């Protein structure tokens, strides 16, 4: 690679840009085959790291450190996420977040069944930790869903329980006046068995789940 000395110093030595200080003369590095050149400068970051960077990126504030600033920002964000309760990526946290979201966000696809009907999350559960403590002491296990004992009531410690997804679905259909089909007492037989099909045929048509 051929380095071409710079005739005019656009970024004088000693100039500061963010955390970077120019500590060397600028120079050009040829780029491509059409005579294009990139102006480069030697900089030192406040953390002590020395780098050779494009002058244009520094002058236009696209780069303001050797990379240490970004690492610090990411570290601060990570501490905010994990130092509070350390559960942001757990299934229980997603359940809590979804519960609050469908009660407060009018853009949620199920808002009309929850927040749109006046269902709210109690003040105690606005923070995740009290909800987590209640869940772990009331039978929560991976794969369970939260259910309100009184479907017209709010999400509160005295009005909630944990159910499997199938039990929760069956409860919803019972409350809406639907009958589950096929019935739960329908024997599990191969569908090519005559007795099974006769059992299916005996189920009244009005037992089908209505939309």
Question: From CA 194, how far away is CA 182, in angstroms rounded?
Answer: 16
Domain of 22 in residue numbering reads as 4-69
Q: Is the pLDDT of residue 116 over 70?
A: yes
Residues 17 and 62 in one domain: yes
Count of the separate structural domains present in the chain: 2
CB 64 within 8 A of CB 73: no
Residues 116 and 166 in one domain: yes
Residues 100 and 159 in one domain: yes
The answer to the question of residue 78 being in a domain is no
Per-residue pLDDT of 145-185, as tens digits, reads 999 999 889 999 999 999 988 888 888 777 776 655 555 55
pLDDT (0 to 100) of residue 209 = 43
Return the closest-CA partner of residue 159 out of 128, 132, 122, 129.
122
Residues 96 and 173 in one domain: yes
The answer to the question of residue 115 being in a domain is yes
Per-residue pLDDT of 125-141, as tens digits, reads 999 999 999 999 999 99
Query: Which residues, at least 6 apart from 99, have a Cβ–Cβ distance to it below 8 Å?
Result: 121, 125, 146, 155
Average pLDDT over residues 29-54: 82
* Of residues 55 and 137, more confidently modeled: 137
Q: Count how many Cα atoms sit within 13 Å of the Cα of residue 174 in the half-sphere of its side chain.
A: 8
The answer to the question of residue 76 being in a domain is no
Return the closest-CA partner of residue 119 out of 150, 158, 93.
150
Residues 97 and 144 in one domain: yes
The answer to the question of residue 104 being in a domain is yes
The answer to the question of residue 131 being in a domain is yes
């Amino acid at each position: 690679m051929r380095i071409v000395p710079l005739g005019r110093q656009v970024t004088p030595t000693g100039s500061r840009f963010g955390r970077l200080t120019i500590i060397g003369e600028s120079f050009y590095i040829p780029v491509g085959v059409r005579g294009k050149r990139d102006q480069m400068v030697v900089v030192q970051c406040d953390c002590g790291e020395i780098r050779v960077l494009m002058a244009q990126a520094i002058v236009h504030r696209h780069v303001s450190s050797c990379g240490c600033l970004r690492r610090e920002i990411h570290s601060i964000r990570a501490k905010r996420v994990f130092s509070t309760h350390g559960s942001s990526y757990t299934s229980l946290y997603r359940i809590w977040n979804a519960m609050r979201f469908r009660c407060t966000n009018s853009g949620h696809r199920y808002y009309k069944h929850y927040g749109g009907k006046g269902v709210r999350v109690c003040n105690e559960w606005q923070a995740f930790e009290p909800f987590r403590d209640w869940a772990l002491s009331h039978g929560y296990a991976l794969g369970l869903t939260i259910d309100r004992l009184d479907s017209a009531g709010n999400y509160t410690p005295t009005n909630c329980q944990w159910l499997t997804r199938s039990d929760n679905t069956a409860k919803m259909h019972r409350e809406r006046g639907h009958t589950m089909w096929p019935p739960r007492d329908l024997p599990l037989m191969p569908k090519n068995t005559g007795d099974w099909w006769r059992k299916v045929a005996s189920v009244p048509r009005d037992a089908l789940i209505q939309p």
